[in-house]
Amino acid sequence: MIDPACDHKTHRLRLEGIHVHYGPICAVHDVSLELSCGAAVALVGGNGAGKSTLMKSIVGLVPMSRGSVRWQGRPMMKNTHEVAYLSQRADVNWEFPITARGLVELGRYPLLGPWRRFGGVDRQAVDRAMATMRIDSLARRQVGALSGGQQQRVLIARALAQEAHVLLLDEPFAGLDQPAQELLARLLRDLASSGRLIVASHHDLKTVGDIFDEVVLLNGALIAQGASAETMTQENLKRAFGERE
């Protein structure tokens, strides 16, 4: 079922000529893309291809040296709650004293600001997000005591509680065992079917076609974009994983 709040015909994320530099090194070179809600998109490329950097630049975590991001036809606001970035699981401090539900509740804060009361609507949004990601039974568990797959689902539930339309996921499948990967893949497909735009960096070429509708091949610059089967050609993969052009 399509989420009525998310009309994927008009909700587009448009990147125009994005360049990102780390000092003299050009991490992302002139990337332009247009992605629509209701799809799961894989960012594929070798180490240092600029996948994480591109996602971080979309939400303003790293500054662009050139280019722009437009969301729903307007320049993207830095503090929009509609686009959520989820860093790699390994980068999160899982020793932090917080329960799974407490972490999901953090997703409501961009909507509430520092002082507005956490009320019934917020509780319901958190309940819904946890149910969607099937973590209701883990609500009172410390995040450090969860398995890798459960932790990843808690992070995604936080983004859903934030009412994000676009989820930018940095290597969400990294370090997960097979059943956890399969469950997460199913849930991401469901989120895309319900009208959200899922963009995830992914390195397992064998599973790309099963999980994602579209593939964006990166090697600093954009190599190719399109449906998985047509885009993952030998020629394109060689350019994506070979020397930078």
The residue ranges that bind another protein (CB under 8 A) are: 59-61, 77-81, 84-85, 87, 91-93, 96-99, 102-103, 106, 109-110, 112-115, 142, 162
Q: Do 223 and 244 meet the contact criterion of CB atoms below 8 Å apart?
A: no
**In the complex, minimum distance from the CB of residue 82 to another protein, in angstroms, rounded to a whole number:** 11
Q: How far is the CB of 126 from another protein (least distance, A)?
A: 15
Comparison of 161 and 192: residue with beta carbon closer to another protein: 161
Minimum distance, C-beta of residue 211 to another protein, in the bound complex (Å) = 23
- SS3 call for 17: strand
**Shortest approach of another protein to residue 9 CB, angstroms?**
27
d(CA 128, CA 107): 12
Identify which of residues 65 and 193 has a Cβ nearer to another protein in the complex: 65
Residue 198 CB, shortest distance to another protein, in Å, is 16
The answer to whether residues 43 and 55 touch, using CB atoms and an 8 Å cutoff, is yes
**Residue 159 — left, alpha, or beta (φ > 0 → left; ψ -120 to 50 → alpha)?**
alpha
Shorter beta-carbon distance to another protein: residue 104 or 240? 104
The residue among 42 and 76 lying less far from another protein, judged by its C-beta, is 76
Residue 123 CB, nearest distance to another protein (Å)?
Answer: 16
Q: Angle CA(46)–CA(174)–CA(216) in degrees, nearest 5? A: 40
DSSP for 139-196 reads TTSBGGGS-HHHHHHHHHHHHHHTT-SEEEESSTTTT--HHHHHHHHHHHHHHHHTT-
Residue among 95 and 235 whose Cβ is closer to another protein: 95
How far from chain centre, in Å, is Cα 242?
Answer: 25
Toward another protein, which CB reaches closer, 97 or 179?
A: 97
